[in-house]
A and B are shown apart, each in its own frame.
Chain A
């Protein structure tokens, strides 16, 4: 098999890179084709190409997480870094110090993934002009970041975030007296709930006293107003914008709006660290006798 035939076969997936003769496996064009076709991953690239810029860019384009494994000299390459953080802003964590200070890269990373902001170095947080500009731009492009407390969720912001001209899609499904104003109130209520601490109770909205409780191991809580809060999923709110949680809810089954309890119960309340969460679950595990568990078939 010659080179041209090998490339064609890789593109039609009629042959795998591993099946090619060694001489062809060390051909750069063939390696690039195999990477582009996802036939191989970076780990499979022959060592002779590990410092090859074109191959590295191709591999990072295939999977941004490859960046974390690159030799330092490749990590210093700004174009390669951009390829990685454009796909996953969290790769900002793996950038060398010099590039982590690069305002263009930081902006790209936070645009890609808002919570990459935790990897912004302290020196840049001190540049108030840059930080203000960065978050103003990010917010304008993602109005659902209202949980950052930049702005409350108005009807206009919600419509923009959901990419619709009306909120009617989200109301009128429970038989209650609902309209877009009700929906905005609902989101605002949940915004308030998200600010509450474990164990805190307060009046939210017009009728519901919410008793916040982290229900990882907790009891059913029954607030005034007849809405039960069966449980709270405390982690999701901590790690991603809450609009993702809402999106999940809206995509779910039709009985959603008939069950306010689960609506409230499906996103986070109050601050709890992921470590605390794991420790609590681990605590349960450690306090459990082996006899309490039976193996599934």
Chain B
């Protein structure tokens, strides 16, 4: 078993309807969030937070979000996520992995950052 990276991604603001759409879409990609066990989707008012794990890194989760963002103009989830700012963080301390992702409103992909070692 590989080391497990912990990750977290916050998406806000979202309406109740948008949260339902995003939650449904995330669950279609759930395998990307559950390497170390089941992940969680927390909803607090207009904010949706995904708490997840990955294999060594959180790249699979970031890739899944990017895939949803780019799944076409007919996708409601894609439109919702493009319009939502996002902020996320991932860690796997044993290997020194620390990552951050950001996306502004209107952005069609996550900007990915690595902590300098």
Chain B, residue nearest A93 (CB):
B43
**Contact status A240-B38, CB under 8 Å:** yes
Across the interface, which residues of B come within 8 angstroms of A44, CB to CB?
Answer: 76
Residues of A within 8 Å of B42, CB to CB, are 274-275, 278
Of B6, B23, B35, B37, which one neighbours A237 at CB under 8 angstroms?
A: B37
Q: Is the CB of B93 within 8 A of A253?
A: no
Query: B58 to nearest A CB, angstroms?
Result: 11
Q: When chains A and B are docked, how far (Å) is the Cα of A274 from the Cα of B10?
A: 12
Say yes or no: is A265 at the interface (Cβ < 8 Å to chain B). Answer: yes
**CB 8 Å contact bits of B69-113 with A (1 = contact, 0 = none):** 000001010000000000101011110000010000000000111
For chain A, give the interface size range: 35 or more
A209 to B93, CA, bound (A): 23
Determine the chain B residues whose CB is within 8 A of the CB of A277 once the complex forms. 8, 51
Question: Do the beta carbons of B51 and A278 come within 8 Å of each other?
Answer: yes
User: What residues of A have a CB within 8 angstroms of the CB of B19 in the complex?
Assistant: 68
Name the residue of chain A whose CB is nearest to the CB of B113.
Answer: A293
**Of A63, A231, A282, A292, which contacts B94 at CB under 8 A?**
A231
Report whether over half of chain A's contact residues are helix, strand or loop; otherwise say mixed.
Answer: helix
- CB of A43 within 8 A of CB of B36, answer no
Given the known A-B contacts A231-B93, A295-B112, are A239 and B20 also in contact in the complex, defined by CB atoms under 8 Å?
Answer: no
Find out whether the CB atom of B16 lies under 8 angstroms from the CB atom of A266: no
Query: Within 8 Å CB of B91, what residues of A?
Result: 216, 281, 284
Chain B 1-31: CB-based contact to A (< 8 A → 1; otherwise 0): 1111010101000001101110110010000
Asked if A293 and B17 make an inter-chain contact with CB atoms under 8 angstroms apart, the answer reads: no
- Asked, given contacts A240-B37, A277-B51, whether A235 binds B115 with beta carbons under 8 Å apart, the answer is no
The CA of A112 and the CA of B62, in the complex, are separated in Å by: 29
Q: Which A residues are CB-close (under 8 A) to B3?
A: 230-231, 262
Q: Smallest distance from the beta carbon of A214 to chain B beta carbons, Å? A: 11
Which residues of chain B are near A238, meaning CB under 8 Å? Answer: 40
Q: Which of A141-149, A156-164, A185-193, A241-249 contacts B (4 or more CB under 8 A)?
A: A241-249
Known: A65-B23, A235-B6. A256 touches B1 (CB 8 A): yes
Chain B proximity of A158: nearest CB distance (Å) = 18
- Contacts A216-B91, A274-B42, A288-B115; is A69 near B20 (CB within 8 Å)? yes
Pair A244/B37 contact, Cβ less than 8 Å: yes
- Pick the residue among B4, B40, B89, B92 that contacts A281 (CB under 8 A): B89
B6 engages A266 (CB within 8 Å): no
**CB contact under 8 A between A263 and B37, given known A281-B89, A293-B116, A294-B114:** no
Question: In the complex where A233-B37, A235-B40, A266-B37 touch, is A65 in contact with B113 (Cβ < 8 A)?
Answer: no
A178 within 8 A of B: no
Closest chain-B Cβ to A186's Cβ sits at a distance in Å of 15
The contact of A18 among B6, B34, B74, B93, by CB within 8 Å, is: B74
Least Cβ–Cβ distance between A218 and chain B, in angstroms: 8
A111 at the A/B interface (Cβ < 8 Å)? no
The distance in angstroms between the C-alpha atoms of A16 and B115, with both chains bound, is 45
Interface residue? A267 (CB, 8 A): yes
Given A278-B10, A295-B112, A266 and B89 touching (CB < 8 A)? no
Distance from B21 Cβ to chain A, minimum over Cβ atoms (Å): 7
Does A66 lie within 8 Å of B20, measured CB to CB?
A: yes
Contact B36 A248 (CB under 8 A): yes
Known: A253-B2, A294-B113, A295-B113. A274 touches B37 (CB 8 A): no
Report B's interface with A, CB cutoff 8 A.
Answer: 1-4, 6, 8, 10, 16-17, 19-21, 23-24, 27, 34-40, 42, 49, 51, 53, 74, 76, 87, 89, 91-94, 100, 111-116
Q: Which 8 interchain pairs have the tightest Cβ spacing?
A: A236-B37, A240-B38, A245-B37, A65-B24, A68-B20, A293-B113, A252-B1, A239-B40
Q: Could you name 7 residue pairs across A and B whose Cβ atoms are closer than 8 Å?
A: A68-B17, A233-B6, A236-B38, A236-B53, A239-B40, A245-B38, A293-B116
